[in-house]
Amino acid sequence: MKSAQKFGYGLVTLSVILMIIGSVGYTVEGDVEEVPTPNVTNFVFFADDPLPTNPAGLLFSADAHITWDRDDTFLVISDAATKNQCDNTPAGLGGFGGCNSANINSVAGGVNINNTDGIEWRVESGEYYVGIGAKDNLPQGVEINVHYKVEVQFSFVSYLVCTLLAATGLAYAKFS
């Protein structure tokens, strides 16, 4: 076997291994405990720090699943514009500013999502923030515990690149 054929079959082997690893993916799980909850009913308060993004969204898909332990609270995920709008709206005027549970502009979550099923969100590139709100009047000092699970796998483009790499390897091995 020539070295060119070895190189070609090496490309095929590498692409098949990458496709298997990309199909299996990688999962990250964790908990955030003792998150303070607001005691203003139906108004969304956002975290100061944005959620991690998917900088390689073209090559990898990342799906997040978020659950929490209290059924009298709700979570939303919104973009930076919605967060800024809500940060500048007084809590009593949430209905007019688009920051209450009925009209919040969110990419995932909301008041109708229960804590057991949780939020499903395809992680995107960009600045997104998690917001929390109370469905009912909560006493001061109530905290929730949040569980998250993020699954990262190859996207369609990654499979396409690996397939092209395998085809190139086969052609290189056959015609060299």
Instruction: Grade residue 137 by pLDDT with cuts at 50, 70 and 90.
Output: confident
Position 106 in a domain: yes
- Report residue 134 CA to chain centroid gap: 22
CATH code: domain of residue 63 = 2.60.120
* Residue 24, pLDDT score: 93
For 37, the domain range is: 25-153
* Residue 55, pLDDT score: 80
What does the alpha-carbon distance between residue 70 and residue 53 come to, in Å, rounded to a whole number? 26
Tell me the pLDDT tens digit for each residue of 15-67: 999 999 999 999 989 888 888 888 788 888 888 888 888 888 889 999 999 99
Average pLDDT, the chain: 86
Quote the number of domains for the chain.
Answer: 1
What does the alpha-carbon distance between residue 3 and residue 40 come to, in Å, rounded to a whole number? 70
Position 172 in a domain: no
Instruction: Grade residue 91 by pLDDT with cuts at 50, 70 and 90.
Output: low
Position 166 in a domain: no
Position 159 in a domain: no
Position 40 in a domain: yes
Q: Are 28 and 150 in contact (CB under 8 A)?
A: yes
pLDDT greater than 70 at residue 98: no
What does the alpha-carbon distance between residue 156 and residue 58 come to, in Å, rounded to a whole number? 8
What does the alpha-carbon distance between residue 45 and residue 101 come to, in Å, rounded to a whole number? 11
What does the alpha-carbon distance between residue 115 and residue 137 come to, in Å, rounded to a whole number? 17
Would residue 59 be called left, alpha or beta, if left means φ above 0 and alpha means ψ between -120 and 50 degrees? Answer: alpha
Main-chain dihedrals φ then ψ at residue 77, nearest 5 degrees: -125, 125
Tell me the pLDDT tens digit for each residue of 105-135: 888 888 888 888 889 999 888 888 888 888 8
Closest CA to 42 of 96, 4, 6: 96
Amino acid letter, residue 41:
T
Eight-class DSSP state of 93: G
Position 11 in a domain: no
* Residue 110, pLDDT score: 83
Q: E strands, the chain, where?
A: 26-36, 45-46, 60-68, 73-79, 108-109, 119-122, 128-134, 143-154
Q: Write out the two tokens for 111.
A: 């008041």
Could you give the 3-state DSSP secondary structure of residue 86?
Answer: helix
pLDDT greater than 60 at residue 95: no
Position 4 in a domain: no
Q: 């009047």: which residue's tokens? A: 137
Position 14 in a domain: no
